[in-house]
Amino acid sequence: MLVLAACVLLVAERKGLAVPFRSALTSLVYPVQQAVSVPTRLVSSAREAFSSYAGLFAENQRLRDEQLILKTRLMKFATLEQENIRLRGLLETSFKVGEQMQIAEVLSVNLFPFEQVLVVNKGARFGAHVSQPVFGATGVVGQIVRVSPVSAEVLLITDSNHGIPVQVNRNGLRTVAVGTGQLDQLALPYLSGSADIQPGDLLVTSGMGGIFPPGYPVATVTDVAAQGSPFAKVVATPVARLDLLREVLLVWSKADPVPRVPEPPSAALGGATHTEASAANSHDTRTR
């Protein structure tokens, strides 16, 4: 009878009927995941706490320099964004700019050795939803595959069941990057042998699938082997260091595109990185 119940559950879940039950169960086991994660995190935070004053000073200095450079770049970015919107207005196309983000901590647990799934500590209570894109500081990390009220499971782009639509930043060549099951490798199997792609090319999200917003860095091409076959064998390395993740960003795409005639700058720049409005916005994305 219990075997039968298990089979019924298997079928029910595949048909998507067991969602509330699942999220309740996941919430129940979340403390276990927390408990496993805490010691590892404690070690790393202890290492931070006991690092020397000189080390901290140097790091502070470096971060300050970095922030200065980034701020200067951002200054330019704001004007470029405005210009872009204006030009797109002239071309009569609309364009989505600006996403909302929220930081989530990665629990250091290993769910299943053959899948690359992370658990993060923000769930449906914070407006996280299934197939929501997740970024790291430098590039795309993956997407959410399951949420519970308190946690969410993130499928990494390198999982062998994950594919992400990308384009080559240099020339706009579009393709799909699929995971290989190794944390430092993506494969691009759908390119012809004569495709214009070379090592060092940056792959960015193309926005084709409707899940990932366009224009974010995904990977850099490391190896192209095209000889003697109709398909090129292209290997890329993810830009985000997927093995060293401690925090990730959950991203909410803006549901409504920026209008062709730009409003005053304050409105256009509004929702760049804000957390309060995220819950309301996620509602939009869910109903979409």
Partner 1 sequence: MTRARGSLGIRWLAAVSLLLAMMLRILPLPPSLATFNPDWVLLFLISWALSTPAHIGLATAWIVGLFTDALTARTLGQHALAYTAVIYVCQRIQPRLRFYPLVQQSLLVALLLSVSRFLVFWTQNGRGPEITDNAYWLPIVSGLLAWPLVQNSLDLLRRRFGAH
Distance between CA 192 and CA 178 in Å, rounded? Answer: 16
Part of the chain binding partner 1 (CB under 8 A), chosen from 44-52, 68-76, 112-120, 244-252: 112-120
| Contacts to partner 1 from residues 124-163, by CB under 8 A | 146, 153, 160-161
- Report strand pairing: 186-188 vs 202-205: unpaired
- Of 15, 20, 40, 193, the residue at the interface with partner 1 (CB under 8 A) is 40
Distance between CA 46 and CA 39 in Å, rounded? Answer: 10
Does 46 help bind partner 1 (rule: CB under 8 A)? Answer: no
Does 109 help bind partner 1 (rule: CB under 8 A)? Answer: yes
Does 44 help bind partner 1 (rule: CB under 8 A)? Answer: no
- Say which DSSP state 91 is in: T
Residue 98 · residue 272 · CB < 8 Å: yes
Does 28 help bind partner 1 (rule: CB under 8 A)? Answer: yes
**Is the Cβ of residue 35 or residue 74 nearer to partner 1 in the bound state?**
35
> What sign does the CA torsion over 76, 104, 109, 129 have?
negative
Does 18 help bind partner 1 (rule: CB under 8 A)? Answer: yes
Rounded to the nearest angstrom, the gap between the alpha carbon of residue 39 and the centroid of all alpha carbons in its chain is 26
Residue 120, SS3 per DSSP? strand
Does 25 help bind partner 1 (rule: CB under 8 A)? Answer: yes
- Report strand pairing: 99-107 vs 233-238: unpaired
Does 49 help bind partner 1 (rule: CB under 8 A)? Answer: no
Residues near partner 1 (CB under 8 A)? 2-3, 5-10, 12-14, 18, 21-22, 25-26, 28-29, 32-33, 35-37, 40, 108-115, 117, 146, 153, 160-161, 181, 183
